[in-house]
Structure formats: structure tokens, C-alpha cells
Amino acid sequence: MKINNVVVKGRFIKRLNRFEAIIDIDGEENLVHVPNTGRCRELFVEGAVVLLEKRDGKHRKTAYELIMVYRESKLVSIDSQLPNKLAEEAVRNNVIIELQNYDYIKREVTFGDSRFDLYLEKEGEKTFVEIKGVTLEIDGVAKFPDAPTERGTKHVYELIKAKQQGYRACVLFVVQLDFANYFTPNSAMDPKFEEALIAAKIAGVEILMEVRL
């Protein structure tokens, strides 16, 4: 993925709420937008070096978007929309082995009471893909979620219904941590999501993982 706008470095001061933080840029405190509602406590620590994308827009409250955080020497993306963009790009370019050669690709398609991130078609196959971005790493293990996710659990059960109705159904974890050794559901944070994922696996929903920066 290319970043077309100006990118600057800053230092994290504090998070005000789910969507806003105060960042030091060249000695000046700036209000920035945080495009991730997760807790990210292991990333959002005072003094952490961050990357900010300067974005224009008459409806924007802030001039900067917090897009990446350095965890020691490791750069971690926290833009919750980036995994969807990366996944779509990867599917279109046949990068993901399990999701290749589709003739039709569409984002944000409704099924039942949910809206899945990708809908794919090729001869004889219709596929729903739900994408989950992974930014949490503990002792070398990538984990999802970093906060309880009722919405995520609901989507997984909806994928089971899609599978039962003849669709191919997949959960794609985009792990934005190339230094993690392996991935596992974060059962300590959200056991219900793990239960849903196990039920989905048993029902034939495919659990896929892609490591992307």
C-alpha cells in the first residue's frame, strides 16, 4: 500500500477517547484522529514514537491521522481500515493462495443481519470473507481481539449461516506483525469470540491468516 499524503513523526502523549489522542509534533501538542477503537494499550504508551498522515478535508476535526506506532524498533499499523484495503488488494492480485482467480470482487456486502468485508465470485463459487486486523502481540504471539468484540462474534456466527446456505465462508486474519511467531484467538480477553471461531471451524468456515505490513 502506498501512502500518498505527507507523513510525519511524533511522540504519543495521551489518548483522550476512542477516536482522539494528543501527539507531540516538533515540540507542539496536536489533537489527532485515532482510526482504531481497540484498546491498543501495549502500543499507546507515553513517549512512543508514532507516524502521522496529514489529511485534508473540510469535515475533519484534526489535520493528522495516527497510522503507525513504533513498539521498540518494530513498526505496527493501527489503522483499522488498512487490513481491509490490504486484503482486497491481495485478493485482486492473487497473493493469497486460498483466495485466487475471482472474477468478481465487491466490498461491504450484506448477508442476513451482517455486512461482510468482501464478497467474491468465480465459476461455481460464491464466497464471503470477514477480515480481522491483528495488532496485538504478547510474548511473540499475535492475538485477536485486544478488546471484547460482540460485533466480531456476531459476524462469525453469521458466516456459519452463510456456509449452511451453500456459500464458501472465510475469516481472514491480517496479522500486521511480521515479528510474531504464531497467531491464536485471545481467549483471555474474549472467550465468546474464541467459542464462535471454534464453532465456525467445525461448521466448515475457513480460518485463514495473512501476514501483511
pTM for the model: 0.84
Q: Are 149 and 196 in contact (CB under 8 A)?
A: no
Task: Compute φ and ψ for 57, nearest 5 degrees.
Answer: 160, 130
Helix (H) / strand (E) element for 68: namely strand 64-71
Please tell me the total count of domains within the chain: 2
H-helix segments, the chain: 82-92, 150-164, 191-203
Which of 77, 100, 131 is at the close of a domain?
A: 77
Residue 204's pLDDT band (cuts 50, 70, 90):
very high
| 56 & 142 share domain | no
Give the CATH number, domain containing residue 14: 2.40.50.580
Q: Give the model confidence (pLDDT) of 47-90 as tens digits.
A: 999 999 998 877 788 999 999 999 878 888 888 888 999 899 99
| 187 & 92 share domain | yes
Give a yes or no: residue 1 inside a domain.
Answer: no
Please check the confidence at residue 111 and state whether its pLDDT lies above 70. Answer: yes
Which of 23, 50, 77 is at the close of a domain?
A: 77
Residue 177's pLDDT band (cuts 50, 70, 90):
confident
Block residue for cell numbers 482486497? 88
Strands 125-134 and 104-111: unpaired
Q: Give the model confidence (pLDDT) of 113-122 as tens digits.
A: 899 999 999 9
Give the CATH number, domain containing residue 204: 3.40.1350.60
